[in-house]
Amino acid sequence: MLNHITIRNFAIVDELSLDLHAGMSVLTGETGAGKSILLDALNLALGDRADSGNIRHDAERAEISVQFSIDKDSAAQQWLAEQALEQDNECLIRRVISREGRSKAFINGSPVPMQSLKDIGEMLVDIHGQHEHQSLLKRDIQRQLLDDFAGNQEILLTLRNLYRQWQQKHDTLSQLQQSSSERQSRSELLRYQVQELEKMELQESELQELPEEQARLANAEKLRSTVQSSLYELYDAEQSSTHQALSQITRSLEALLDFDPKLKDMVTMLNNAAIQIQEASSDLRNYLDNIELDPERLAWIEERIGVIHELSRKHQVTSEALPELQNKLSAELLSLNDADQNLDTLEQELQALEKDYHAKAKQLSQKRAKAAKKLDKSVTDTIRELGMPSISFMVQLEKNTDKDINLQGNESIEFMISPNPGQPQKPLRKIASGGELSRISLAIQTVLADSTHIPTLIYDEVDSGIGGPTAEVVGKKLNELGGNRQVLCVTHLAQVASQAHQHLLVSKQINKNNTTSNVQALDQTQRIQETARMLGGIEITDQSLSHAREMIERGQQVKKKQSKKSRKSA
């Protein structure tokens, strides 16, 4: 979820710091106030191309920082871990653009290439409208959404396991079918590598234990002297130990108990402290007795750590992966040694795996086709509720022409749209209108709310060209989507804004020759004022204020009902 955004010297923004919450948030403001600036800045933070013209006229550089909280098991968290960028389930992205045209990017404080911002951005935010982060337009995401909607996780896991087994055996068979001289050369290399690894007799526990023991032995003298000094100060000093001083203080205070019993609790605490010092001193003495000064062991450990690191660099794997690598190389060597015997067996096993794969892939195709029909109707109905009565939605399943098996089954998936009855279906990614695409995306996201994995959805132009009852439906759908996703919507319609959990007002201030844009979170009274302004008219009247108050209260009642419904379903 997007928690915070900070913008400095970007367009007409001097400095802006904004907290965002879960649920549905709306951005409103008068035309020209800069509602799109926030989304433009967010797009830059997520890897869009930089333009020095976006830097505020009186500044040398612009800076955008965005902070996300990330679920522990999410794809984003896994990606951060793979890149060694993880940080306590948090992702802080920072983008700096200079007047000279240079651009720098950081994730959790580490510099990264611009592509990394795009990669992580696609896992964190979906921006629908005139921008470029719509994951729904990607065919891989469309396939994943259909499979999630169909509940295909179990069969996909089976299919992927079959594929991986097939791929492993297929690769092994290809290696065995190499010429005899190539196999012999590969066998010799593998034999040398396996012997080198076996000679190490590397244990997995060593990878953690050796550095710990190395640090302990390397600092044994310091450990000994510090512990010895501490023990002396605590207990062993005959005239001035902490324990002796504490005991003397305790006895002095005990003598005063007859004069004031209130000292009893303090005396008890001091007695306990003396006991703990005595016990700690005993433990320190035992620890001191077991400290080893063993330079030969230290030299052996440092040499072994060096050899392990050298092998890791040589094989281009982590130290932790060396035991697994040894097993893999040993298995390949064994396979090559038994090449002739294994050929026939492998071919039979491949045929059996292919048969099992195609049987499962056929089941997957049937489930996808059934789910696609259900999804077609649900999304089409929702699209029409959103003021596009002529549009129909269809999931196209196109059978793969190649005969090779793959991870994804027998067909490719594409979301299609027919703009009007009788007109041919077109891919969703080719829809031109930003507002139309936003509403179609909203319909799909609403139907697939429990299946989508991207935590933050942003809609720009979603209410373009609509009003009245349709606008209210759009607001309700966005509010409903905000029940299990963070939703941020730029809107100019009161019917949409009144449904939000959080209302943000974008305003522009002009002071002499200086123009700045600001974003403010509105309280209830301010929301009513802003909603009344959005309802129209040069002057805000009591009637428009009453209408605005009624709309917001009605929206809050809808939110309470949805909240109760969510608690019941939970």
Give tens-digit pLDDT for 358-367: 999 999 999 9
Dump strand ranges (E) for 419-532: 426-427, 456-460, 486-490, 502-511, 514-521
* pLDDT, position 566: 47
**pLDDT tens, 125-134?**
988 765 455 6
* pLDDT, position 75: 85
Rounded distance, CA 416 to CA 393, Å? 6
* pLDDT, position 161: 93
Whether pLDDT at 106 is above 80: yes
- pLDDT mean over 46-54: 84
The whole model's pTM is what?
0.61
Q: Mean pLDDT for the chain?
A: 85
Dihedrals phi, psi of 135, to nearest 5 degrees: -65, -25
**pLDDT tens, 169-201?**
888 888 777 655 677 788 888 888 888 888 888
- pLDDT mean over 143-156: 90
DSSP string, 14-31: EEEEEE--SSEEEEE--T
Rounded distance, CA 81 to CA 433, Å? 38
Whether pLDDT at 554 is above 80: yes
Per-residue confidence at 560, pLDDT binned at 50, 70, 90?
low
* pLDDT, position 570: 39
What residues have CB less than 8 Å from 518, skipping those under 6 apart?
13, 16, 506, 507, 508, 509
Whether pLDDT at 231 is above 70: yes
Whether pLDDT at 109 is above 90: yes
80 vs 422, residue with greater confidence: 80
- Helices within 395-520 (DSSP H only): 434-447, 468-481, 494-497
Per-residue confidence at 113, pLDDT binned at 50, 70, 90?
very high
Contact yes or no for 447/424 (Cβ under 8 A): no
pLDDT above 90 as % of the chain: 30
**pLDDT tens, 297-312?**
788 888 888 888 888 8
Per-residue confidence at 357, pLDDT binned at 50, 70, 90?
very high
**pLDDT tens, 235-291?**
888 778 888 888 888 989 998 988 888 999 999 999 999 899 889 989 888 988 878
* pLDDT, position 471: 85
Rounded distance, CA 389 to CA 420, Å? 9
Rg (CA), the chain: 34
**pLDDT tens, 405-460?**
888 889 999 999 988 888 888 898 887 566 677 788 888 888 887 777 788 988 88
* pLDDT, position 23: 92
Rounded distance, CA 6 to CA 24, Å? 20
**Overall size of the chain counted in residues:** 570
Per-residue confidence at 326, pLDDT binned at 50, 70, 90?
confident
Extract the tokens encoding 403. Answer: 């005969």
Q: Where in the chain is the domain with CATH 3.40.50.300?
A: 2-129+431-569
Q: State which H helix or E strand residue 413 sits in.
A: strand 411-418
* pLDDT, position 340: 60
pLDDT above 70 as % of the chain: 93
Per-residue confidence at 563, pLDDT binned at 50, 70, 90?
low
- pLDDT mean over 84-104: 91
Whether pLDDT at 567 is above 50: no
Query: Structurally, what CATH architecture does the domain formed by 2-129+431-569 represent?
Result: 3-Layer(aba) Sandwich (3.40)
**pLDDT tens, 503-545?**
999 888 887 777 778 888 999 999 999 999 988 766 888 888 9
Whether pLDDT at 568 is above 60: no
